[in-house]
A and B are shown apart, each in its own frame.
Chain A
Amino acid sequence: NAGVTQTPKFQVLKTGQSMTLQCAQDMNHNSMYWYRQDPGMGLRLIYYSASEGTTDKGEVPNGYNVSRLNKREFSLRLESAAPSQTSVYFCASTTGYRDYGYTFGSGTRLTVV
């Protein structure tokens, strides 16, 4: 099925460990995004890639890095995980045309202990 695929779905990390969250879309979308969802905070933008080859910081980029590997894939890396990064992470993509909105993946639930 066409859409946005995120891996893994669940992950538990120890403080200080690193990991990469993977995201891939097969809709030929230009723009990709990483959001985190926390209780009472809604969805907050971490990083985004407006087009292949570009990345920019969002609202809460500290502690994260991203790579737009190609047009399909956009990964999010936690170099040294902290308990404050416990969250649900969503990847999204869009054509860039205003009327279409975003297509979201099903999320990665990350717990840092």
Chain B
Amino acid sequence: DQQVKQNSPSLSVQEGRISILNCDYTNSMFDYFLWYKKYPAEGPTFLISISSIKDKNEDGRFTVFLNKSAKHLSLHIVPSQPGDSAVYFCAAKTGGGNKLTFGTGTQLKVEL
């Protein structure tokens, strides 16, 4: 049972445009969400997070939006840059511990 879903395996956008990566979850006990970025042959790196008490968190070019009623979150990257080309994983955890449940990932390609 996939509790965290990223339904788009890949996404292609032009440099300078907005990239929107989506993530859905089914477990209503999740109360903290994170996005990780992964380059080939490297481990994932933490990008941005959001608590369930918020609906938006912003860090430079990256903004995460959370819609609890829809059990949906999204990552916006504006403007997109070629260096943003990577696999992006959505992750979630419950308040009781530190285990993360990851989605399947979305491969973002930012084209010149």
Binding site for B on A (CB under 8 A): 4, 31, 33, 35, 40-45, 48, 50, 58, 90, 92, 94, 96, 98-107
Cα–Cα distance between A27 and B49 once the two chains are bound (Å): 21
Known contacts A48-B99, A98-B32; decide if A43 and B42 are in contact (CB<8 Å).
Answer: no
Q: Which residue of B lies closest to A105 (CB)?
A: B43
In the bound complex, residues from chain A placing their C-beta under 8 Å from that of B6 are 42
Cα–Cα distance between A58 and B102 once the two chains are bound (Å): 12
In chain B, residues 42-80, which have Cβ atoms closer than 8 Å to a Cβ of chain A? 42-46, 49, 51
A42, A99, A100, A102 interface centre (most CB from chain B within 10 Å)? A42
In the bound complex, residues from chain B placing their C-beta under 8 Å from that of A33 are 99-100
| Inter-subunit contact B102/A44 (CB<8 Å) | yes
> Which of under 10, 10 to 19, 20 to 34, or 35 or more describes the interface residues of B?
20 to 34
| Inter-subunit contact A104/B45 (CB<8 Å) | yes
| Inter-subunit contact B43/A104 (CB<8 Å) | yes
A31, A50, A102, A107 interface centre (most CB from chain B within 10 Å)? A102
Q: Looking at the assembled complex, report how far the CB atom of A87 sits from the nearest CB atom of chain B, in whole angstroms.
A: 14
| Inter-subunit contact A40/B104 (CB<8 Å) | yes
Q: Looking at the assembled complex, report how far the CB atom of B52 sits from the nearest CB atom of chain A, in whole angstroms.
A: 11
In the bound complex, residues from chain A placing their C-beta under 8 Å from that of B4 are 42
| Inter-subunit contact B98/A107 (CB<8 Å) | no
- Excluding A40-B104, A101-B46, A106-B41, 20 further A-B contacts by CB distance (< 8 Å) are A4-B43, A40-B9, A42-B6, A42-B89, A42-B105, A43-B89, A43-B100, A43-B102, A45-B100, A45-B101, A90-B44, A94-B98, A100-B46, A101-B34, A102-B44, A102-B100, A103-B46, A104-B43, A104-B45, A107-B41
| Inter-subunit contact B102/A31 (CB<8 Å) | no
